[in-house]
A and B are shown apart, each in its own frame.
Chain A
Amino acid sequence: MTRYSALSLIRQGFAGHNGWPRVWRDATPRSGYDIVIIGGGGHGLATAYYLARNHGLTNIAVLEKGGLGGGNVGRNTTIVRSNYLLDENAAFYEHGMKLWTRLSRDLNFNVMLSQRGVLNLAHTDAQMEAFARRGNAMRLNGIDAELLDVAAVQQAAPLLDTSPDARFPIVGGLIQPRAGTARHDAVAWGYARAADALGVDIIQNCEVTAIRRDRSGAVLGVETTRGLIGAEKIGLCVAGHTSQLAAMVDLPLPLESHLLQAMVTEPVKPCLDTVVTSGAAHCYISQTDKGELVFGGDLDGYPSFAQRGETPRIEHICASAVALFPAFSRLRLMRTWGGVVDMSMDGSPIIDRTPVPGLYLNGGWNYGGFKATPAAGWCFAHTIAHDAPHPLVRPFALDRFARGATLDEKGAGPTPALH
């Protein structure tokens, strides 16, 4: 692998940039692998990378039905955080936060991690108390958190309307200063490049059409649009379509696929230096390095695989953005898109073995798959390599619903669209 550095940029600059190699090889499938990862998004690529790096397993293929990174890893609002209330979530996402902070170096690829803070706005005293509960829990878990009063909120985001006359006046906020954003595509490409360098085959335009099993039910491999590929172990990392893949082995899951929209404005000079979220206004806002303001909000509310959303949600999110930042009213919305997300029944993910020997599951990421990318890859790789869940993901077991040990961060119950 040609190392990326300022020096190599200068050297290539004098050579007309003719010497840059491919970021990853476009591999053609071999007849079989030790491990096949289905899904060439962030989680699949990270899993392959950590299988190779942490566990020395390199006879691995990552199969992607379209182009690498074309799914949710490239459709999210790029937020990275570990500001969770429940201990199980906190431990997992904080492990991820630590991986994030060294990811650019680990991958030798600048994922443009910007630790600009994620600020949750409180609009009532009750919300402030709920934030305190979460912030105190975070602190006990060794995660950074600060409670802000209105003046501090105003300082963090000067264009916010903090007047008491606002429809939902801001009474304070909870900020995780180490949280922030990362360049989503860079995460996919960086993992792909690093995994490829360790010998992983990344195979694009290769859609899995069936999962082959032996008489005992154990996996043998996958049938794909590019032929049969043998595998001793198969890992599913197909956010949005997990139910469809699991249906190939008659495995029903506690998942429903929903549509989550995101959108950006035209780029402007820096005007928002932190990530701002508001539960009352149902939106989250940040500014990309390019200058676009990125908005996200709630689900459209019904199952969809369409990757395009409806206008009422867009209008509501924009109204929310203007309610929070009245100065943004004259900016223009430039692009909207949708991602298909696996909503789980308790709002928390699933990383586990499955009843099918050799088949491993990583899904149910709800709104939060992007920030989980490094930790999910790390823990899923461990789970596959050891045929036993990584301690951090034991709470994310598939049988937690039967046991009653759900991880309901929002307390919304088994209604996926409410998480």
Chain B
Amino acid sequence: MTKAPDETGIAPQACRLETGGHIDRDRTLRFRFDGRTLTGHPGDTLASALLANGVRLVARSFKYHTPRGILAEGAEDPSGLVALGRGARHEPNTRATMTTLTDGLEARSQNAWPSLRWDAAALMRPLSAFMPVGFYYKTFQWPPQVWPLAEPVLRRMAGLGTSPRQPDPDTYEHRTAHCDVLVVGAGPAGLMAAWAALAAGARVILADERASLGGCLLKERTVLNDAPAADWVQTVLGELTSDSRVTVLPATTVTGQHDHGFWLAAERIYDRPDTDPAAAGPRQRLWHIRAKQTVLATGAIERPLVFAGNDRPGVMLAGSVRAYLNQYAVAPGHKAVVFASHDEGYRTALDLVAAGIPVAAVVDPRADVRGPLPDRVRALGVPVRDGYVIGDTRGTASGGLSAVSVHRYRTGGDMVSVGEWLDIDLLATSGGWNPTLHLHAHTGARPIWDAETLAFQPDPDRGPAWLAGACGGLKPLDAVLLSGREAGRGAAEAAGLRLPEGGSPCPTVAPDDPAQATAGTRRAALWAVPKPAVANGKRFVDLQSDVTVEDVALAHREGLESVEHLKRYTALGMGTDQGKTSNVTGLTLLAAARHQPIPEVGTTTFRAPYTPITLGALAGTATGEQFAPVRRSPLHDVQAEAGAVFQATGLWLRPRFFPRDGETLAEAVQREVRTTRERVGMVDVSFLGKIDIQGPDAAEFLNRVYVNGWTGLPVGKVRYGLMLREDGMVLDDGTTARLAEDHFAMTTTTANAGRVMEHLEHALQVYWPELDVRLVSTTDAWAAIALAGPRSRQLLTFVTDLDVSNDALPFMGVATGDVCGIPARVFRISFSGELAYEINVPAGYGETLWRRLSQAGSALGLTPYGSEALGVMRIEKGHVAGPELDGRTTPHDLGLGRMVSTKKSFIGHRLLERPALTDPDRPRLVGLVPEDGRTRLLAGSQIIAVEHAGAPPPIPRLGHISSACSGPSVGHPVALGFLTGGLEQWADQTVLVTYPLKGTQVRARVVPPQFYDPEGSRQNA
């Protein structure tokens, strides 16, 4: 196996086997690990390539910072976590085993400083005796200064890798797919299931988390139909991929089962072997799969045996050792011991010998082991130590495994304390297999303990999916293949398809295949080997969270003895691997400590996702500007042209102001207000919600949803309305015009447009289906411009033949006709308090209307204005808006109590009678002006009594300022606010407007909340 450096000077792959493996030896890929340049081949994972180069130490553990290597070969690996990429593409905590090796891959170790080999934090290890599980709950309580000092230290010790610091340059997407049969897992059972379902004509999605499909058929030396199993895999995959009804998704993890046949699957596109890295495209894709039927063929996960020093790099799962030998042609060590509690250990020994790796012993806790596999191993001259266990390990300076001690063992835990040391660097270990039932259990199925196989088996009643292969119970390979075929056919039939007579035949398995021999053999219920009196290492149950057998015992001793408590107290299974190799072992140890059978101790809840999903994939395309839809008025572009500065308001982008050369916000607003008040201004009001209401009962309907009366409103008139929730609080306000006897046009506030529509539809459909009324939202159908100011009528006459005189179109009137040659509705309503017209035209004509009005208005000094100036003018006028309609105010609170009809019923009218809502001491709307006539009152200020100036908290509040402005039209700052008892109690009195966040206080006089033209002579002009 030793090779000389090649001409490039890069070290050869010292642990690559000469032959075999499903790798492409013709192509060499270069990658870097911790700055060293190494090589591998297509078909490698990062883990297999590291092992091929003899790299065994890859990480440091979470708590004790002890050396960690690669334990497994798949998603279950708890310890081989590395950082990938650089800069903005840095990615922490990635499993080396699940990373497809690509040319130029950059990987680094993490959670170690200054280097992986010499980690300062590991010096803490001697203190570990004083840091048992949950030690932090027991100290740092006192004095209070201690914990704030200790916490940052603990935080820095924890945490594994580091977060990227820059925005992710890659993209992600979501895709929705429907199918008859979803097959999860493309091992022997999954391939058969997909093939059989297709044979029945089903639309099939086949997803597998691995980049290379075939599952155990690639990892073992299996022969199917007298040929290597990989040939059969290629044949079936060929059948599947060539059929348009099938979607085959490699490197795609089905991460969760959700309600009603909904499955989430994360596709790591860059890990797919068929992805061209040069072609720009999304990095990952999240599939939303709605499947009529699902076959789970997720296999089983091997669990390690627990013994002292079982965390050293070089200790590896026995099945994973076979995968590295057979799939990747990698020798994970130079000399091995196999330690397993069942017959599969012998299978690993056979493969090791076949690969030319000496096996010092097969150590088996069972006494007197006989059978085809043990006999074959013995025949090869490999020592079989049945009735023995591994008790301890030794390591090299860098932490790698160098020796194991073998101890005589009798079932029941009686172990000879002194063992015999064997010098080896690879220990293949297996404590049995756990069917992979995560997806099965996500929607509530509870796996059942089976004492025969020493594993949880699926809940036969609860799971909504078909189970095939090992996840439905361990079985010989021919039975696995058959179960896949049956599940595929069953699923297809249940999805409504007709089954064919034949098709998709199961391949023939060689009778002497080890996979035929091991499934049903005797298994030792050995979970943790006793610790010898003097041991070098700890006995780790969870290699990532650093949970030991002693920790489990301590948790039990302290009464944290339910599965859930154990998990939360020790962090067992709470790592990035979610305890795939440790949960069941932890549970059995807990059961033993409680002297209870495992079923009584229970199982933990399986929670999605099966393996972690990047936030980017979950966000999909909802990033940046696409995080939320942007709503733009039909007048957006023309206003942008006019120099508008926009502000996000809800989903809308609204013009805030229109600065002219160098103007500040305040200057521009001042000018826009002055121009409008003195001449004429125009503002985009397309944002207001608009609802078209038609039908013979339309007026009656409005009567029932508004507090004021509507039946008497003449055609051609507009009325201001106030709408309540059932609890009597104001939901929304706005104007509604009667265009015909049976036709009304309602406006709502921008923020509540959706909610009001839903409210009205609810009322109409659920409360009063007898009313003959139709509703449609027309918010997006109209462009709306308000023309305001003393010259607005004049301007309007330039562009319309409509009679817009005060007689023909008085305040609160509506007219229909052409404006600027465009069919329009003209509402004589005013938010600013000026003579004003709101012109609505079909949205597509909005821009034309804006341009023509601008043109016609230039002679009159027309200015466009934005939401800021609009806000200033409505405050000066004393109109309520969002800050006043905060969901806690009644009509009375707003000073609109006289609008509330006493002659009819309407939504909210009964609960409005409740005592607390009619209390005269409720905060009610008032106006406030600074006593000094100068100092701004700030929205968000609180109001207190003058005598409470400088008082210590808590200071009783009298109310607050809801809206405020500098009052450019009235010559002094003004504010709207709510004050306990309202004007009745406070008119003309002085209160203190306080803003403790800035330390300011202003004496203010309470006045009626109308500052500008309270008589309304301007708007009525």
Which A residues lie at the B interface, using CB under 8 A?
4-6, 8-10, 12-14, 17-18, 20-26, 67-70, 74, 87, 91, 101-102, 104-105, 107-110, 112-115, 123-126, 128-133, 135-137, 139-142, 145-147, 159, 161, 167-169, 183, 185-186, 189-190, 204, 265-271, 281, 289-291, 306, 308, 310-311, 314-316, 318-323, 326-337, 400, 402-406, 408, 410-414
A337 & B162 in contact (Cβ 8 Å cutoff): no
A68 CB to nearest B CB, Å: 8
B707 CB to nearest A CB, Å: 16
Partner among A69, A169, A204, A405 whose Cβ is within 8 Å of the Cβ of B648:
A169
Partner among B137, B159, B167, B558 whose Cβ is within 8 Å of the Cβ of A326:
B167
A291 & B620 in contact (Cβ 8 Å cutoff): no
Proximity bits, B628-657, A CB within 8 Å = 1, else 0: 101000000000000000011100000000
Partner among B139, B151, B550, B954 whose Cβ is within 8 Å of the Cβ of A6:
B139
Partner among A135, A308, A333 whose Cβ is within 8 Å of the Cβ of B618:
A333
A142 CB to nearest B CB, Å: 3
Q: Which residues of A contact B442 (CB under 8 A)?
A: 308
User: Would you call B155 an interface residue if the criterion is a C-beta within 8 Å of the partner chain's C-beta atoms?
Assistant: yes
A140 & B612 in contact (Cβ 8 Å cutoff): no
B147 & A413 in contact (Cβ 8 Å cutoff): no
B557 & A140 in contact (Cβ 8 Å cutoff): no
User: Would you call B132 an interface residue if the criterion is a C-beta within 8 Å of the partner chain's C-beta atoms?
Assistant: yes
Q: Which residues of B contact A22 (CB under 8 A)?
A: 557-559
Give the docked Cα–Cα distance between A167 and B622 (Å).
Answer: 10
Q: A314-B618, A319-B620, A333-B609 are in contact. Are A132 and B939 (CB under 8 A)?
A: yes
**Stretch in contact with the other chain, from B343-351, B819-827, B989-997:** B989-997
Give the docked Cα–Cα distance between A136 and B574 (Å).
Answer: 41
User: Would you call B934 an interface residue if the criterion is a C-beta within 8 Å of the partner chain's C-beta atoms?
Assistant: no
Would you list which residues of chain B between 965 and 997 have a CB under 8 Å from chain A? 994-997
B995 & A136 in contact (Cβ 8 Å cutoff): yes
A26 & B162 in contact (Cβ 8 Å cutoff): no
B141 & A269 in contact (Cβ 8 Å cutoff): no
User: Would you call B793 an interface residue if the criterion is a C-beta within 8 Å of the partner chain's C-beta atoms?
Assistant: no
Give the docked Cα–Cα distance between A190 and B134 (Å).
Answer: 12
B998 & A147 in contact (Cβ 8 Å cutoff): yes
Give the docked Cα–Cα distance between A189 and B627 (Å).
Answer: 40
A404 & B916 in contact (Cβ 8 Å cutoff): yes
A269 & B163 in contact (Cβ 8 Å cutoff): yes
Q: Name the residue of chain A whose CB is nearest to the CB of B569.
A: A185
Partner among B62, B139, B911 whose Cβ is within 8 Å of the Cβ of A4:
B139
Q: A159-B163, A334-B578 are in contact. Are A310 and B259 (CB under 8 A)?
A: yes
A276 CB to nearest B CB, Å: 14
Q: Name the residue of chain B whose CB is nearest to the CB of A174.
A: B997
Partner among A18, A267, A306 whose Cβ is within 8 Å of the Cβ of B93:
A267
A23 & B155 in contact (Cβ 8 Å cutoff): no
A319 & B627 in contact (Cβ 8 Å cutoff): yes
**Stretch in contact with the other chain, from B19-27, B474-482, B842-850, B879-887:** B879-887
Give the docked Cα–Cα distance between A280 and B69 (Å).
Answer: 44
Q: Name the residue of chain B whose CB is nearest to the CB of A6.
A: B139
For B168, B172, B174, B942, the residue with the greatest tally of chain A CB atoms inside 10 Å of its CB is: B942
B914 & A402 in contact (Cβ 8 Å cutoff): yes
A137 & B957 in contact (Cβ 8 Å cutoff): yes
A327 & B258 in contact (Cβ 8 Å cutoff): no
B424 CB to nearest A CB, Å: 30
**16 A-B residue pairings within 8 Å (CB atoms):** A24-B559, A67-B564, A105-B144, A109-B138, A112-B137, A139-B953, A140-B957, A141-B955, A142-B954, A267-B158, A270-B152, A291-B160, A323-B622, A327-B164, A327-B168, A336-B609
A158 CB to nearest B CB, Å: 8
B151 & A112 in contact (Cβ 8 Å cutoff): yes
Give the docked Cα–Cα distance between A136 and B993 (Å).
Answer: 11
User: Would you call B399 an interface residue if the criterion is a C-beta within 8 Å of the partner chain's C-beta atoms?
Assistant: no
Partner among A4, A159, A271 whose Cβ is within 8 Å of the Cβ of B138:
A4
A267 & B576 in contact (Cβ 8 Å cutoff): yes
User: Would you call B357 an interface residue if the criterion is a C-beta within 8 Å of the partner chain's C-beta atoms?
Assistant: no
B139 & A9 in contact (Cβ 8 Å cutoff): yes
Q: Name the residue of chain A whose CB is nearest to the CB of B940.
A: A132
Partner among A14, A87, A136, A281 whose Cβ is within 8 Å of the Cβ of B994:
A136
Give the docked Cα–Cα distance between A68 and B569 (Å).
Answer: 13
B607 & A414 in contact (Cβ 8 Å cutoff): no
Proximity bits, B937-970, A CB within 8 Å = 1, else 0: 0111110100000001111010011100000000
B159 & A167 in contact (Cβ 8 Å cutoff): no
Q: Which residues of B contact A322 (CB under 8 A)?
A: 168, 615-616, 619, 623
Give the docked Cα–Cα distance between A19 and B488 (Å).
Answer: 56
Partner among B131, B140, B576, B725 whose Cβ is within 8 Å of the Cβ of A110:
B140
B622 & A332 in contact (Cβ 8 Å cutoff): no
Q: Which residues of A contact B888 (CB under 8 A)?
A: 408, 411
A404 & B917 in contact (Cβ 8 Å cutoff): yes
B137 & A109 in contact (Cβ 8 Å cutoff): yes
A332 & B953 in contact (Cβ 8 Å cutoff): no
Q: A145-B997, A329-B619, A414-B727 are in contact. Are A266 and B886 (CB under 8 A)?
A: no
A110 & B887 in contact (Cβ 8 Å cutoff): no
A292 CB to nearest B CB, Å: 9
Q: Name the residue of chain B whose CB is nearest to the CB of A113.
A: B147
Proximity bits, B47-66, A CB within 8 Å = 1, else 0: 00000000000000010000
Q: Which residues of B contact A336 (CB under 8 A)?
A: 607-609
Give the docked Cα–Cα distance between A316 and B172 (Å).
Answer: 14
B162 & A20 in contact (Cβ 8 Å cutoff): no
Q: Which residues of A contact B955 (CB under 8 A)?
A: 140-141
Q: Name the residue of chain B whose CB is nearest to the CB of A204.
A: B562
B554 & A413 in contact (Cβ 8 Å cutoff): no
B916 & A403 in contact (Cβ 8 Å cutoff): yes
Give the docked Cα–Cα distance between A56 and B915 (Å).
Answer: 39
Q: A23-B558, A185-B569, A268-B160 are in contact. List 9 more A-B contacts (CB 8 A).
A: A4-B138, A6-B140, A17-B554, A107-B141, A133-B960, A140-B944, A167-B630, A290-B158, A323-B619
Give the docked Cα–Cα distance between A123 and B628 (Å).
Answer: 14
B560 CB to nearest A CB, Å: 6
Partner among B137, B917, B954 whose Cβ is within 8 Å of the Cβ of A140:
B954
Q: Which residues of A contact B172 (CB under 8 A)?
A: 329
Q: A329-B167, A337-B607, A403-B914 are in contact. Are A21 and B558 (CB under 8 A)?
A: yes
Q: Which residues of A contact B560 (CB under 8 A)?
A: 23, 189
A318 & B615 in contact (Cβ 8 Å cutoff): yes
User: Would you call B625 an interface residue if the criterion is a C-beta within 8 Å of the partner chain's C-beta atoms?
Assistant: yes
Q: Which residues of B contact A67 (CB under 8 A)?
A: 562, 564-565
Give the docked Cα–Cα distance between A319 and B619 (Å).
Answer: 4
User: Would you call B463 an interface residue if the criterion is a C-beta within 8 Å of the partner chain's C-beta atoms?
Assistant: no
Q: Which residues of B contact A269 (CB under 8 A)?
A: 155-156, 159-163
Q: Which residues of B contact A266 (CB under 8 A)?
A: 92-93, 160-161, 576, 612
B159 & A4 in contact (Cβ 8 Å cutoff): no
B896 CB to nearest A CB, Å: 17
Q: Which residues of A contact B147 (CB under 8 A)?
A: 104, 110, 112-113
A327 & B557 in contact (Cβ 8 Å cutoff): no
Partner among B443, B568, B628, B887 whose Cβ is within 8 Å of the Cβ of A410:
B887
B614 & A267 in contact (Cβ 8 Å cutoff): no
Q: Which residues of A contact B960 (CB under 8 A)?
A: 133, 136-137
User: Would you call B129 an interface residue if the criterion is a C-beta within 8 Å of the partner chain's C-beta atoms?
Assistant: yes
Give the docked Cα–Cα distance between A332 and B998 (Å).
Answer: 41
